[in-house]
Structure formats: C-alpha cells, structure tokens
C-alpha cells in the first residue's frame, strides 16, 4: 500500500512514518522509532547535514525525564553540565540587574541546571540514529493525504508516501498549513514577541577574570544566574563541561501592544557590542563584565506562535516548534519537543497501532498534549514579563517576584510524559475498542 519514490522499502513493515525536520525534536523522535524493527522510519531534513548553532540549551527536570525515557541518557550524560557543588540543585539564582543583589534561587532537586551545548547534543543523539534513515537536502514544500496514506513533496521534485507524516520542521513549518488550512483557520504566521535576545559564549576563565576585575564574585561564572530589570534581563549558565559560559541578554519593547518587527528585518543578525552595551548601560558590575566579554554578539528577534486550534489532521501531525513555538524564558521549548517525541514514539510502537487506526492514535496524542503545550507557550511569555518587572499583579514588587520565582516552575517540571502515554492509551481502548488491542 505504501508507495515511496524516494526510499525503497525492502520488507513490509507495520507502519511507515515520514518525519519532516531533523532538529533536536525530529532526530530524538526518529531514534526512538528506529528501535522498533516493525516501523519504517524516514527523516527528511532541508539542510545538507544535521546542524545546530553553537549556543547552550537548558533542560528542566521534565526534559531530563523525557531524555531518560527516550533512551538517550548515556549520550546526554556524557556532555551535560550541571551546577557546581554546593549549588547542585540550583536551576538559577535570581539577582537585581542594577546592583547584583541576590533575590532568591529556583531549586530543581536532583537536577539543578542541566544544560548542553546544542551542537554537541544534536551530535550525541544523531550517533544513535541507524544509517539510511536520514535524507538531506529535502525541503518539504507541501503535504497531501488520501484515505490510506499521506505524501510529502520536496523541492527537488521527489516525494515520500507513508502511513503518516510528522512535521517536526520548526517555527516556519511547511507541514502546518496542511494541518490548519488557511481557508479554514486563517493565515497562521509566527509573531515577534517584542523581545530581542543578544547571544554569546565566553570562555569560563575569561569571565572569571573579568568578574573579579569588577569586584564581583568569580562563582557567578559557573553558578547559573539571571539578572533582572525593567524590560531587560540577562542569563548565564555553563556549557561544554564548564569550559564556556552561555549568555543571553534580553530587551523587550512594551511601549505598545503587539509591536511589529521592522519590515524586512532578519530574525537573526550580527550586531555591534556597543549596541548591546548601550541597552544595558547603568547595569551592575557583574552584568558589565559579562557583556564586555562578548565582542561579537548576535541579536535574535524572538518569535512565537499563537496557540493552535489543533495539531493533527487525519494522517498528518505537527510537533515541537512547528506546533507550539514559544519564547525561551522557561527553558522549555526543547523539553516540550522531547516530551512530544517520547509520547508519540511510544504510541506508534504499540503493536496495535496500524495503518487503518493510526489517525486515531495521532488524535489521542493531540488530546493528551495540546493543553500542556499551550500552557507552556502561555506561561513562557508570562515568565518574560515576570523577569522584566512587568508581571501581572507583580510588577516591580520584589517580594511578589520572589514568591513567583520560587514556585512558578513546579507544574512544568513535575510532569512525567509516561502519564500522557497512559492517558492516550486509555482513551484509545475506550474509543477504538473495535480496532484496538
Ligand atoms: P527546530 O530545532 O527548529 O528544528 C527544525 C528542523 O527542521 C531544522 O533542522 C530545519 O532545518 C528543518 N526544516 C525546517 N523546514 C523544513 C522543511 N520545509 N523541510 C525539511 N526540513 C525542514 N529550549 C529549551 O528547552 N531550553 C532552552 O534553554 C532554550 N533556549 C532557547 C533560546 C533561544 C534564543 C531560542 C530561539 C530557542 C530556545 N529554545 C530552548 C527552544 C528550542 O531551541 C527548540 O524548542 C528546540 O530546538 C526544538 O525544536 P524542534 O526540533 O521542534 O525544531
């Protein structure tokens, strides 16, 4: 039944799955599926090779749990950083950006700040991907489906037809318009959050010297820090086995509702250090030390998606950033992509899941994941407001701010994605008792 002009199937499999997009989410998903010999898994990436930028990515306890469940823990542990003793449980320390005053710390017992260098993490999970699954230079330009199959078309004129197509193709997803046709749902485009993020990496030793030269504590280099102020904040955490410190400095335009990015402006640009220093003029000695160590920052216009009405249309589903792109203020985007990957891979690996009932399985996935991922989107945006003294009912009241920071991550972190699997399987038993199990 499955016709495939790109990749020849040599033996019949229970299910054929095409994944569009080989970022952290798509690769982790492909690795998990590829462990089941009954699944034919093909991954299509637009770029000529897997690639991630040389920046850090931070994981909360829920993301670390998803990594374990995906069987990627060994790969992860080899490259992961954590907060140095005696600060092992510290996710971030929070400080006033104007004078470095310590406000509080958010604690994640047993996990602390678990972070990786993005490119290293992608390499580590790619190493678990069997040969022959990944296809490069395959930019998806459209998806269509019939009763028995779904087909992705690529810009090189080739096609892939399988039982399902999964769009893990990022915020500018080419699969999304098929799931949410514009004539029915309107044009869905990412919107600028109003925030620019200046990014850079600093050799740890350089930062320690710079901090001490300004009279600040050297430990601020390796213990993860957030410096907070009106419409601005700066975060730092170590990566690459503590050889480097990852820095992101944010500024948000709250002068008008829904600010627009100037027409034609690139989302990511190299900018001058002077521009970044100017934005944080008057900030504390530690903040000056950090920013002065970044001679060539890049500036990212942070975009997000509105909460989508649905993620699934019959045999086609979007996941990760394609479905719920968010601002990075809770360090939660990659974690949600990994939770998605674990939940769907487990459902598709169930022997009861076959071509004739796979749309019901995708629908069960959407049911258990939709409200959580939308809440993560919403609260990620709100977190930026809180950090920048603009939180509703909080503003610049530091006592309220501290209360909020000490508890706001609990619901996000204390989540076991396996419970989503159980909930989905329960609903499937109930709704598809004729075909399932
Ligand atoms: P992506 O990483 O966007 O991957 C999509 C892939 O699809 C890419 O490889 C792309 O080339 C490919 N592709 C795109 N279009 C096509 C097409 N048409 N055909 C074929 N292939 C295609 N998350 C965290 O959890 N913690 C953090 O600390 C964190 N910090 C962040 C900081 C910043 C500044 C930003 C912008 C994001 C941050 N995130 C963070 C979010 C995180 O980067 C993403 O959620 C994560 O990378 C997972 O994304 P994904 O795999 O769904 O999509």
Question: Tens digits of per-residue pLDDT, 50-80?
Answer: 987 767 898 999 999 999 999 999 989 888 8
Q: Which residues have CB under 8 Å from 297's CB, separation 6+? A: 198, 199, 200, 249, 270, 271, 273, 276
Lowest mean pLDDT across 106-115, 195-204, 316-325, 369-378: 106-115
Tell me the C-alpha to C-alpha distance, in Å, between residue 425 and each of 71, 360, 371, 433.
Answer: 21, 11, 17, 11
Residue 436 has pLDDT above 60, yes or no: no
Q: Measured from the CB, is residue 333 less than 6 Å from ligand 1?
A: yes
Q: Considering the entire predicted model, what is its pTM?
A: 0.94
In the reported structure, the alpha carbon of residue 334 is separated from the centroid of ligand 1 by a whole-number distance in angstroms of 7
In the reported structure, the alpha carbon of residue 193 is separated from the centroid of ligand 1 by a whole-number distance in angstroms of 16
Model pLDDT, residue 431: 52
Q: Measured from the CB, is residue 97 less than 6 Å from ligand 1?
A: no
By alpha-carbon position, which residue is closest to atom 41 of ligand 1? 333
**225-229: strand order across its sheet:** 102-107, 90-96, 225-229, 232-239, 244-252, 191-203, 298-304, 268-270
By alpha-carbon position, which residue is closest to atom 33 of ligand 1? 328
DSSP-derived secondary structure letter, 434: T
Q: Measured from the CB, is residue 277 less than 6 Å from ligand 1?
A: no
pLDDT digits (tens, 9 = 90+) for 260-287: 999 999 999 999 999 999 999 999 999 9
The 3-state DSSP class for residue 300 equals strand
Please give the structure tokens belonging to residue 169: 């193709």
Model pLDDT, residue 3: 39
Atom of ligand 1 nearest to the CA of 321: 52
- The Cα–Cα gap between 371 and 231 comes to 29
In the reported structure, the alpha carbon of residue 170 is separated from the centroid of ligand 1 by a whole-number distance in angstroms of 5
Q: Measured from the CB, is residue 46 less than 6 Å from ligand 1?
A: yes
- Tell me the catalytic residues: 199
In the reported structure, the alpha carbon of residue 54 is separated from the centroid of ligand 1 by a whole-number distance in angstroms of 13
Q: For 349-369, what is the mean pLDDT?
A: 96
Q: Measured from the CB, is residue 41 less than 6 Å from ligand 1?
A: no
Considering the chain, what percentage of its residues have pLDDT values greater than 90?
87
Model pLDDT, residue 433: 46
How far is C-alpha 65 from the chain's CA centre? 15
Atom of ligand 1 nearest to the CA of 138: 20
Would you say the C-alpha torsion 170, 124, 112, 223 has a positive or negative sign?
negative
At 429, the pLDDT band (50, 70, 90 cuts) reads confident
Model pLDDT, residue 162: 98
In the reported structure, the alpha carbon of residue 61 is separated from the centroid of ligand 1 by a whole-number distance in angstroms of 19
Mutation test residue for ligand 1: of 65, 156, 169, the one with most atoms within 8 Å of CB? 169
- The Cα–Cα gap between 26 and 41 comes to 11
Q: For 391-406, what is the mean pLDDT?
A: 96
Q: Measured from the CB, is residue 340 less than 6 Å from ligand 1?
A: no
Contacts of range 212-219, beta carbons closer than 8 Å, 24 or more positions apart: 213/289, 214/285, 214/286, 214/288, 214/289, 215/285, 216/100, 216/284, 216/285, 216/286, 216/289, 217/286, 219/84
Atom of ligand 1 nearest to the CA of 44: 20
Q: For 227-256, what is the mean pLDDT?
A: 96
Determine whether 419 is exposed, middle or buried from the number of CB atoms within 10 Å of its CB (0-12, 13-18, 19+): exposed
DSSP-derived secondary structure letter, 385: H
Determine whether 340 is exposed, middle or buried from the number of CB atoms within 10 Å of its CB (0-12, 13-18, 19+): buried
Determine whether 282 is exposed, middle or buried from the number of CB atoms within 10 Å of its CB (0-12, 13-18, 19+): exposed
pLDDT digits (tens, 9 = 90+) for 296-309: 999 999 999 999 99
In the reported structure, the alpha carbon of residue 322 is separated from the centroid of ligand 1 by a whole-number distance in angstroms of 9
Please give the structure tokens belonging to residue 27: 């690769």
CB burial readout 88-120, b (16+ within 10 A) else e: ebbbbbbbbbeebeebbbbbbeebbbbbbbbeb
Tell me the C-alpha to C-alpha distance, in Å, between residue 305 and each of 175, 226, 258, 345.
Answer: 14, 25, 13, 24
- The Cα–Cα gap between 406 and 296 comes to 34
Q: Measured from the CB, is residue 268 less than 6 Å from ligand 1?
A: no
Model pLDDT, residue 11: 62
In the reported structure, the alpha carbon of residue 188 is separated from the centroid of ligand 1 by a whole-number distance in angstroms of 18
pLDDT digits (tens, 9 = 90+) for 147-191: 999 999 999 999 999 999 999 999 999 999 999 999 999 999 999
Q: Measured from the CB, is residue 312 less than 6 Å from ligand 1?
A: no
Q: Measured from the CB, is residue 332 less than 6 Å from ligand 1?
A: yes
Q: Measured from the CB, is residue 170 less than 6 Å from ligand 1?
A: yes
Q: Which residues have CB under 8 Å from 226's CB, separation 6+? A: 92, 93, 94, 95, 233, 234, 235, 387
In the reported structure, the alpha carbon of residue 45 is separated from the centroid of ligand 1 by a whole-number distance in angstroms of 13
At 237, the pLDDT band (50, 70, 90 cuts) reads very high
- The Cα–Cα gap between 252 and 88 comes to 31
Interior angle at CA 360, CA 359 and CA 365, nearest 5: 95
Q: For 32-60, what is the mean pLDDT?
A: 92
Model pLDDT, residue 53: 78
Atom of ligand 1 nearest to the CA of 154: 19
Q: Measured from the CB, is residue 169 less than 6 Å from ligand 1?
A: yes
């Amino acid at each position: 039944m499955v016709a495939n002009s790109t990749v020849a199937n040599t033996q019949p499999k229970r299910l054929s799955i095409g994944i569009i997009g080989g970022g952290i989410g798509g690769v982790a998903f492909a690795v998990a599926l590829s462990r089941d010999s009954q699944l034919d898994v093909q991954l299509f990436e637009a770029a000529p090779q897997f690639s991630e930028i040389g920046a850090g990515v931070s994981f909360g306890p829920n993301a670390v749990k998803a990594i374990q469940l995906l069987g990627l823990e060994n790969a992860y542990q080899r490259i992961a950083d954590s907060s140095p003793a005696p600060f092992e449980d510290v996710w971030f320390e929070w400080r006033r950006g104007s004078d470095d005053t310590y406000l509080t710390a958010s604690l994640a017992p047993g996990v602390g700040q678990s972070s990786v260098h993005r490119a290293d993490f992608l390499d580590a999970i790619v190493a678990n991907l069997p040969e022959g699954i990944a296809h490069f230079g395959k930019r998806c330009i459209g998806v269509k489906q019939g009763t028995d199959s779904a087909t992705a078309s690529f810009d090189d004129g080739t096609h892939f037809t399988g039982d399902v197509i999964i769009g893990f193709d990022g915020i500018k997803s080419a699969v999304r318009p098929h799931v949410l046709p514009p004539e029915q749902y309107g044009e869905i485009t990412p919107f600028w959050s109003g925030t620019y993020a200046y990014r850079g990496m600093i050799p740890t030793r350089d930062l320690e010297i710079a901090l001490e030269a300004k009279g600040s504590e050297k430990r601020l280099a390796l213990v993860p820090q957030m410096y907070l102020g009106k419409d601005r904040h700066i975060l730092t955490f170590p990566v690459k086995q503590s050889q480097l410190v990852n820095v992101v400095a944010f500024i948000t335009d709250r002068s008008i509702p829904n600010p627009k990015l100037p027409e034609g402006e690139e989302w990511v640009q190299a900018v001058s250090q002077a521009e970044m220093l100017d934005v944080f003029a008057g900030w504390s000695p530690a903040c000056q030390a950090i920013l002065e160590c970044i001679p060539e920052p890049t500036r990212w216009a942070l975009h997000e998606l509105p909460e989508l009405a649905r993620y699934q249309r019959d045999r086609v589903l979007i996941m990760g950033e394609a479905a719920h792109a968010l601002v990075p203020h809770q360090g939660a985007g990659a974690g949600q992509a990994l939770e998605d990957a674990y939940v769907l891979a487990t459902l598709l690996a169930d022997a009861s899941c076959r071509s004739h009932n796979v749309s019901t399985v995708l629908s069960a996935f959407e049911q258990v994941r939709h409200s959580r991922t939308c809440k993560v989107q919403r609260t990620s945006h709100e977190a930026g407001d809180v950090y920048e003294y603009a939180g509703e009912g909080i503003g610049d009241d530091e006592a309220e701010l501290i209360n909020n920071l000490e508890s706001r991550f609990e619901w996000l972190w204390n989540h076991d994605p396996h419970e989503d699997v159980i909930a989905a399987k329960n609903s499937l038993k109930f709704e598809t008792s004729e075909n399932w199990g």
